[in-house]
Amino acid sequence: MSLAVHTPDSVPGVLAALSEGGLVIAGGTHVMPRLNTEPSDVESLVSLRRAGLAGVAIVDGIARVGAATTLAQLGREPELGFLRGALEAIASPTIRNMATVGGNLFVGQPYGDLAVCLLALDAEVHVAGENERTIEVGEPIAPGELVTAVTFELPGAANWRFTKAMRRRLNSASIVTVAAVVKPGDVRIALGGVAPRPVRARAAEALLTGKPLDREHVEAAAKAAVQDAEPFTDAYASAWYRERVLPVHVRRALLGEEA
């Protein structure tokens, strides 16, 4: 079956095309493999290429990233250098030149490491539709809605933590991903690879609130992180293995330990 491809030049144009049953496509790294390998009744694609949704703006310590911004573009932003290690662990340079920030929000685990980072950053996801609204990372959107941007406060490089366990040194799916923002009185920990979607390690955060980030408290929090996980088995690791190594990687991330 041939597909019609629409390229609206505005967000209202995209929404109009979606209302007629189109499917959003940005970089295509997630959508096209599905369309090529799975049964589908999709008849038209709505490209974001001309919709004006790419780019990064940073004002007063708040970053606004357009949904169609590629991962490669994001990695070239000097003020977002703290994200570079996480971005370089995602797929290959070729894929990062195509894959977009908005698309990464909807990639199923054990992929979607940027979404894990955005969850730790407490990012707001801006959604256009019948009414404009903001949602948290991991919340679904309704048919006909469109993610237009994400916004988050810059954490300061010294407050950022990230680690990822994978089969290969780089560019592999996640076995366990840990992203965290650590500030006095405010510890946010997000996990990837250990649940169907990125999750906050609320139990671990609760144990660290108001406590020193020393080995004793971190090890207790790392063990508690399992409470918020729903480990699964796939081609990369078993649920049992993910559950066993999750506390190790939470500890390594928070204490800055080398693997």
DSSP β-bridge partners for residue 204: none
Q: Which sequence spans correspond to the domains of the chain? A: 4-47, 56-153, 159-255
Domains 56-153 and 159-255 share a fold: no
Give the integer Cα–Cα distance in Å for 196 and 231: 8
Provide the token pair at 184.
């006095």
| pLDDT at residue 17, rounded to an integer | 94
User: pTM for the full model?
Assistant: 0.94
| CA atoms within a 13 Å half-sphere pointing along the CA-CB vector of 129 | 13
Of 84, 146, 138, nearest in space to 116 by CA: 138
Give the integer Cα–Cα distance in Å for 122 and 246: 21
CATH architecture entry for 159-255: 2-Layer Sandwich (3.30)
Annotate 126-162 with DSSP letters as a single string: EEESSS-EEEETT----TT-EEEEEEEE---GGGEEE
| pLDDT at residue 169, rounded to an integer | 66
Task: Kindly report the number of other CB atoms within 10 A of residue 28's CB atom.
Answer: 15
| pLDDT at residue 206, rounded to an integer | 96
Residue 62 backbone dihedrals phi, psi, to 5 degrees: -110, 125
Q: Does domain 56-153 have CATH number 3.30.465.10?
A: yes
| CA atoms within a 13 Å half-sphere pointing along the CA-CB vector of 208 | 30
Show pLDDT as tens, one digit a residue, over the chain (259 residues). 578 888 999 999 999 999 998 899 999 898 888 878 878 788 889 999 999 999 999 999 999 999 999 999 999 999 999 999 999 999 989 999 999 999 999 999 999 999 999 999 999 999 999 999 999 999 999 999 999 999 999 999 999 999 999 987 666 899 999 999 998 878 999 999 999 999 999 999 999 998 999 999 999 999 999 999 999 999 999 999 999 999 999 999 999 987 6
Side chain identity at 247, as an amino acid letter? P
CB of 80 closer than 8 Å to CB of 71 = no
| pLDDT at residue 259, rounded to an integer | 64
DSSP β-bridge partners for residue 161: 180
Residue with tokens 């920030």: 101
Give the integer Cα–Cα distance in Å for 207 and 185: 11
Q: List, for residues 28-72, the tens digit of each pLDDT value.
A: 898 888 878 878 788 889 999 999 999 999 999 999 999 999 999
